[in-house]
Amino acid sequence: MFYLAYNILSLFLLLPVVIYHLYRSVSRGRPPAFRERFGSIPPADLAVLRTRPVIWLHAVSVGESIAARPLLKALRKQYPAHAIVVSNTTETGRGISSTFPEKDLCIYFPFDFLPAVCSVLKSIRPVLIIIMETEIWPNFTREATRRGIPVVLANGRISDRSFSRYLKLGWFFRHALQLFSRLCMQTETDRERIIAIGAPDERTLATGNLKYDIPLCVATVDEKKRLRNSYTIPENLIILTAGSTHAGEEQHVITMYKELSATAGNLFLILVPRHPERSTEVASLLENSGLTFRRRTSLPSDVMFQQGEVLLVDTIGEMMCLYALSDIAFVGGSLVPTGGHNLLEPASAGVASVFGPHMTNFREITELVLQYGAGIQVDTPEELSSSMRTLITSVELRRVLGQNGLKMMRDNGGATERHMEVIARYL
């Protein structure tokens, strides 16, 4: 009865969903990819999968795609005869995933519309489906199970903010949750929460966070020199990278940078909006502030930046390189209540980080960063300026925070191996 009602409702919701995706794609200057979202994959693309068993991994957007990378590497190494399909929901996620050498095919995840789901499952014929974090789609999960395809939830998490919402909708989610072959949650708290929502206790376990298994990418002196030259940034500047910033944060960062540049004569800012389509909006803020800047997409190859200038990054997929060449990082999404972003990225580069109070989407990681002394949490823009000033003037403090971050990464790895033990049961 539930699935009958769900599919009747999906017929009424299909048009609004299509309109929303069309608006979202057009407003961001990207193709809507309706063909794939309705489950039709070009035969030429499918050719690479023929004669091989297929593992399908789904990662919604950029964060999930990056978190999936250690798992993709392990899958490719342990199952070289299998083809790997990676699907994404967002355009930015697709952009990141398409660069992964481990995948054989990258597609958009279908709408949870029964004909679309049936079509794509029939075309790809996976022997295993891995869903990153917490994507729960009733039709997709049911149809996969009906076809005898095991579905594993990997790196699952239930944030503080979303837990109450999931609980209220437990009557909706429990139908799909009961169909998962295994649910691998990041922490024991996440495990308890998803069981409360409706997941089967006996198939749910805590396996750790895959994000701790991202490769350490500490740049040597020569590598840092090469990276800085590739972005036309002089070697002698102290680089502050503000990564994954959101509306409401950039102005604080710009104001802070102007104040600090007045006293620190060798400072340089790299500003990386979370969504590249906001780069024009951020460029206006820079213009109004009087700062000289260049966009990443229009860098000349032979004109070096000067101190006090700004690199505005209007591309995706370069965050780890940018952290690697930096001296200090501000992790955005944390001065405004959006839940924060991944502190492990600067930590894996051995770079000192500063972040704001709004880190609800990364509560476990935040606690660990503070426990290890791998970063500084601030409550206000004024505290951000003060902490940045301290880090700019203390090479030793930057070094200690960076080393603490690397130790944290080494001490808390192993989630990939635990996930692979679960996955091996189905391959």
| CATH number assigned to the domain comprising residue 225 | 3.40.50.2000
The whole-angstrom separation of Cα 68 and Cα 102 is 11
Contact (Cβ atoms closer than 8 angstroms) between residue 200 and residue 191: no
Residues 323, 398 share a domain: yes
User: Does some domain include residue 104?
Assistant: yes
Look at residue 9 and tell me if it is in a domain. Answer: no
Alpha carbons 266 and 257: distance in angstroms, whole number:
12
Count of CB atoms situated within 10 Å of the CB of 134: 23
Contacts 24+ apart (CB under 8 A), 279-282: 279/312, 279/313, 279/314, 281/247, 282/245, 282/250, 282/312
CA 290 to each of CA 240, 254, 271, 286, 307: distance values in angstroms, whole numbers, following the listed order: 18, 10, 15, 6, 14
Rounded Cα gap, residues 285 and 297, in angstroms = 18
Query: What CATH number is given to the structural domain containing 151?
Result: 3.40.50.11720
Residue 77 in domain: yes
Q: Looking at the structure, do residues 49 and 142 belong to the same domain, yes or no?
A: yes
Write the CB contacts of 208 (distance below 8 Å, at least 6 apart in sequence).
Answer: 186, 187, 412, 414, 415, 418
Helix-helix angle 279-289:250-263, to 10 degrees: 40
Q: Is residue 20 part of a domain?
A: no
- Distant-in-sequence, close-in-space partners of 33: CB < 8 Å, separation ≥ 6: 25, 108
CA angle 367, 370, 374 (to 5 degrees): 125
Do residues 319 and 392 share a domain? yes
d(CA 416, CA 368): 19
Query: What does residue 235 show for φ and ψ, rounded to 5 degrees?
Result: -65, -30
How far apart are the C-alpha atoms of 73 and 100, rounded to whole Å?
9
On whether residue 14 sits in a domain, the answer given is: no
Q: pTM for the complete prediction?
A: 0.78
Q: Are residues 204 and 226 in the same domain?
A: no
Output Rg (C-alpha) for the chain, integer angstroms: 22
- CB contact at 8 A, 416 and 210: yes
Q: Which residue of the set 64, 91, 135, 250 is catalytic?
A: 64
Distance CA 43, CA 154 (A): 29
Which residues are registered as beta bridge partners of 88? 108
386 and 400 housed in the same domain: yes
Determine the structural domain holding residue 287 and report its residue range.
221-411
For residues 242 and 166, state if they share a domain. no
Mean pLDDT of each 10-residue bin along the chain, 427 residues long: 86 84 77 88 93 96 89 97 96 89 96 95 97 93 97 94 89 93 96 96 96 89 94 95 97 97 92 94 97 94 92 92 96 95 95 96 91 98 97 97 96 95 96
Residue 73 in any domain: the answer is: yes
Q: CB under 8 Å, gap of 24 or more: what pairs does 299-303 form?
A: 299/231, 299/232, 300/232, 301/232, 302/232, 303/232
Query: Is the same domain home to 406 and 417?
Result: no
Same domain, 95 and 231: no
Q: Count of domains in the chain?
A: 2
CB 396, CB 405: distance < 8 Å: no
Q: How far apart are CA 354 and CA 370, in angstroms?
A: 11
Residues 347 and 369 sit within 8 Å (Cβ to Cβ): yes
Residue 3 lies in a domain: no
In this structure, are 324 and 204 located in the same domain?
no
For 153, counting Cβ atoms within 10 Å of its Cβ (0-12 exposed, 13-18 middle, 19+ buried), the class is buried
| pLDDT computed for residue 17 by the predictor | 83
Task: Read off φ and ψ for residue 244, nearest 5 degrees.
Answer: 55, 45
> Is 223 one of the catalytic residues?
no
- pLDDT, position 186: 94
Please report, for the chain, how many H helices and E strands are present, in that order.
Answer: 19, 14
Residues 288 and 402 in one domain: yes
Residue 361 is assigned to a structural domain of this protein = yes
**Whether residues 199 and 231 fall in one domain:** no
CA–CA separation, 215 and 225 (whole Å): 20
Whether 417 and 380 map to the same domain: the answer is no
Q: What DSSP line would sit under 353-397, residue for residue?
A: EEE-S--GGGHHHHHHHHHHT-EEE-SSHHHHHHHHHHHHH-HHH
Cβ contact 355:377 at 8 Å: yes
Look at residue 214 in the predicted model and tell me its pLDDT: 84
